[in-house]
Structure 1
Amino acid sequence: MLEYTGERVIPDLMKPANALLLEHLARYQFSSYHIRGRVLDLACGSGYGSQMLAKYGKKRIDELIAVDVDPVTIDYAHKRYNHPLVDYRCEDATDPLLPQKLGMFDAIISFETLEHLEDERQFLSNLYNMLKPGGTLVLSTPFGKGRGKPCGSPFHVHQLTIDEFNGLFPEYKEVKMYYQKGVLIEPPYPGVKYPLGIAVCTK
């Protein structure tokens, strides 16, 4: 059984009304409208979201590859959230060889990954190189004081500013920005301070 640390979402160890759990479920439901074909859930964690995507998108997806760097977590995900369409694998999101290992995808989902990584550039390069032309990337991260600045979380390298996050996707043909506050995900409204951003990018 995985241990709940306050960072990794493990629904079996959390109350149904836990705010963190509800926020993560909302992101997966939001992203379910953007998946089709061959799908990657990069940094899938305990696997609840990968299974959720497979159930919601069973008529639109062919295969879902769910990847996390921790072998214990992947073993838990495979046992607890098994689904015929989901293939759980243990890989590093910043491995330069990841595109060769996993291949190409019609849609890539990666939630709350960026802030954990030292090698942001390699991670973003992997995402782009694994996405098919016309494919969709849905990526989220919490906002903070900016790149290279302390953010108060022992689990995060740093947390980007809104402007830094918005500037991550110049190579994509189309980028739509959404922002989340609680379970509400919406385009930005003036005067509202959002703790987290979600980019929906088309290659």
Structure 2
Amino acid sequence: MIPKLMKPTNGMLLEHLARYYFSTPYVKGRVLDIACGAGYGTHMVAKACKKKVEKIIGVDLDPKTIEYARKTYYHPLTEYRVADAQDTSLPQKLGRFETILSFETIEHLQDDRLFMRHLHEMLTPGGTLVLSTPFGKGRGKPCKCPFHIHQLTPEEFVELFEGFSEVEIFYQRGVTIEPPRKNVKYPLGVAVCKKEKG
């Protein structure tokens, strides 16, 4: 997604921006934005949280996308790197973080549990993870989006965070991110989780 090529009223763009804005109260220290894409969210958070952030590292699999991010969304607090979210040595390559952001990532990955172990390992004790994903028919089941391997059910989504000491689950509908309300169907889940302080 490249905001400069989209209308400012594009619903998908607004949903993505809403997730980054939502994350800002939780962001501090050394920050990882994994699967950062074009870098607009990494840049946005760097600007919004500049007094609380040491550095924000935006990571994506595609070298051309990372090059675009470096040229288009530079900020003194940002750094962009090419890395694979499913690389078994990812924690060793990237190090530890006080905050990790992962928006619309796990639905693209074959092994979302391995990815979650990586995120947990990369968080410092007491660190915060903010993660979102769209809901669907469940792990291992086909979905309508050709770019997604599968989409978790709301129940599977909650189970991802069993290794964390504190978990808050929110739901997104358009630009609204809120605790669940009765009789409302939500297409996306957003979790805010803390790692045990140790």
Give the TM-score taking structure 1 as reference length.
0.95
Q: Quick check: 1:170 aligned with 2:162? A: yes
Q: Quick check: 1:75 aligned with 2:74? A: no
1:83-103: CA deviation from partner (whole Å, max 9, x where unpaired)? 110000000011111111111
Kept in 1, the 8 Å contact 2:139–2:153? The answer is yes
Superposition map of 1:100-119 within 5 A: 100-119=92-111
1:83-142: CA deviation from partner (whole Å, max 9, x where unpaired)? 110000000011111111111000000000000001212211110000001000000000
Measure how far apart 1:146 and its partner are. 0.7
Q: Quick check: 1:32 aligned with 2:41? A: no
Q: Quick check: 1:181 aligned with 2:173? A: yes
Aligned partners of 1:44 and 1:71: how far apart in 2?
A: 12
Match of 1:17 among 9, 14, 29: 9
Q: Runs (4+) of structure 1 moved beyond 3 Å?
A: none
Match of 1:66 among 33, 58, 73: 58
Partner residue of 2:114?
122
Measure how far apart 1:52 and its partner are. 0.1
Kept in 1, the 8 Å contact 2:46–2:77? The answer is yes
Match of 1:149 among 141, 150, 160: 141
Partner residue of 2:41?
49
Kept in 2, the 8 Å contact 1:95–1:122? The answer is no
Kept in 2, the 8 Å contact 1:137–1:201? The answer is yes
Q: Quick check: 1:137 aligned with 2:133? A: no
Measure how far apart 1:181 and its partner are. 0.1
Aligned partners of 1:140 and 1:121: how far apart in 2?
A: 14
Q: Give the gaps of 5 or more residues in structure 2.
A: none
- Name the SS of the counterpart of 1:126 in structure 2: helix
> Relative to structure 2, which stretch is displaced further, 120-129 or 83-92?
120-129
* One-letter code aligned to 1:86: T
CA root-mean-square deviation: 0.5
Number of residues paired by the alignment? 195
- Name the SS of the counterpart of 1:51 in structure 2: helix
Aligned partners of 1:20 and 1:114: how far apart in 2?
A: 18
Give the TM-score taking structure 2 as reference length.
0.97
Q: Give the gaps of 5 or more residues in structure 1.
A: 1-8
- Name the SS of the counterpart of 1:49 in structure 2: helix
Kept in 2, the 8 Å contact 1:67–1:89? The answer is yes
Kept in 1, the 8 Å contact 2:58–2:81? The answer is yes
